[in-house]
Amino acid sequence: MLWGSIIFIISSHASGGSEEQRSTANAILIIVMILYYVDTFLYSYCSYFLNFASIAKSYEEMDKMFKAFPSITMNIRCYHYRSYRTRNGSIVTERVDTHKASRNFDYLSWRDISGKFELDTSEATKNEDVSYVLLDLSFTIEFAADGTLGDFEESKATFIRRNRLDDEYEYSEASSISYFQNCFLVQVTDQVPCLFGLGYFILFGILGFNALYSTYLDRFCKRQVFTIKKAISTCENLNAPEMESKYSYHDPRIIIINQVITFPQNQGPQVFALSDMPQQYVAVQQPPPQPLTVSMPAPVPVPIPVSQIPNPSQLPKDGVPNNQYPQTSQRQLQLDPEQPQPPPGQSPPVISYPPQPPPQESNAQLPSIVPNSQIDPENRV
């Protein structure tokens, strides 16, 4: 439409059309440009670039939304119409708002029943051009099947009856959850395509090439849709132990390399340090094997007989100990209780342990698909 309008206005001026045709072409071009820029910078890829996130950041944002409590707000606005005559004798009717009110719906308990969330990076492993995931999010609030819907309808009727203070009224409802974001642009590989970013998007959008640039961006992005679900109840505690059999399967879970992170009721996911779990930002199917840890019983210290303690007068004058009285270290004092004790007058045996190799980081063996610079500096998921 934009380029069609530009061609139309150029042709109308070049062909020497009438003043009315040129004015019409100018008006059409202005209207189309307004629609074009509204569509470009309020929709399209603009909202995704404004919510750019790494994989770690996307899990943190999902964490916040899983923990967030839901709310339903009832709104009412009362009004009436008034008619009056102007100076020129015409009758004008206008609307007069006289009262407005809002109220949150009160419930007993809530529970997140979003189920499993797993960032879909399968397309990035199959197609080397795909480096980003367009994550589209939405949310719903459901009433538990225990009479909550009836309580809501009764609360709604009571709210309208108490606040209907004029001839006419408008009623509306607004549902919300805290920290909700409707979209994210998640980077899942290290590859950054050419001419990719918010600056290039603004440049091509201003020049009128938003459609072509969006087609170019589609090559590097994979779209994923997920819905966050909350359940509320006015009659029962949805987090009681007897409710586990009903809602445990729907509890929110994040899947990272076949590992499941669960979420306590009304609390959201637990926070894990990256060093406490396999690296979750790699394109592998199975977690790396964990090293086998063997625990040895701590040796029991055995006191040294008094007869074995050397007399200070027997030490050399220059302060350097001789071989007759070897130095007894703390390591030597830790004797194995199962070994026979040395006879009086002899030095206790020196127990040596083979040096243990330093533990190897299993994460270092995995090829990361997310640069370390994009991992949260607080080392949190």
Q: Which of 227, 257, 273 is the last residue of a domain?
A: 273
Q: Is residue 168 part of a domain?
A: yes
Q: In what order do the strands lie in the sheet with 183-187?
A: 52-54, 183-187, 132-143, 221-233, 109-112
pLDDT given for residue 260 in this prediction = 52
**CA dist., res. 107 & res. 110, Å (int):** 8
Q: Give a yes or no: residue 340 inside a domain.
A: no
- Residues 211 and 189: their CA atoms lie apart, in Å, by 25
CA-nearest of 177, 218, 192, 224 to 58 is: 224
Which of the listed residues 238, 255, 273 is the one where a domain comes to its end? 273
Same domain, yes or no: 31 and 60: no
Q: What is the CA radius of gyration of the chain?
A: 36
3-state SS assignment for residue 93:
strand
Print pLDDT tens along the chain (381 aa).
Answer: 777 777 777 776 666 667 777 777 778 778 888 888 888 887 778 889 999 998 888 888 998 999 999 999 999 999 999 998 888 888 999 999 999 999 999 999 999 999 988 888 888 888 888 999 999 999 999 999 888 999 999 999 999 999 999 989 999 999 999 899 999 999 988 888 898 988 898 898 888 888 889 899 999 999 999 999 999 999 999 999 988 888 888 888 877 654 455 555 444 443 333 333 334 333 333 444 455 444 555 555 555 554 454 554 454 444 444 444 344 444 343 444 444 555 555 555 544 445 555 555 444 443 334 444 444 444 444
| Domain identity same for 61 and 27 | no
In a domain, 297, yes or no: no
**Is 238 contained in some domain?**
yes
Rounded CA separation 179/68 (Å) = 7
The three-class DSSP label of residue 74 is: strand
Show the CA angle centred on residue 244, arms to residues 240 and 250, nearest 5°: 120
DSSP 68: P
Q: Which amino acid is at 40?
A: T
Q: Which residues contact 129 (CB under 8 A, 6 or more apart)?
A: 193, 219, 220
Residue 361 lies in a domain: no
pLDDT at 298: 55
**pLDDT value for 119:** 87
Same-domain status, 6 and 124: no
| Residue 26 confidence (pLDDT) | 76
Residues 245 and 259 in one domain: yes
The pLDDT, as a whole number, for residue 23 is 77
- The pLDDT of residue 299 is 56
Question: 331 lies in a domain?
Answer: no
Say what the pLDDT of residue 344 is. 58
What's the half-sphere exposure (Cβ side, CA atoms, 13 Å) at 190? 9
The boundaries of the domain holding residue 29 are: 2-10+21-42
The answer to pTM > 0.95 is no
Dist CA 120 CA 255 (whole Å): 10
Same domain, 38 and 75: no
**What is the bridge-based pairing of β-strands 116-117 and 253-256?**
parallel
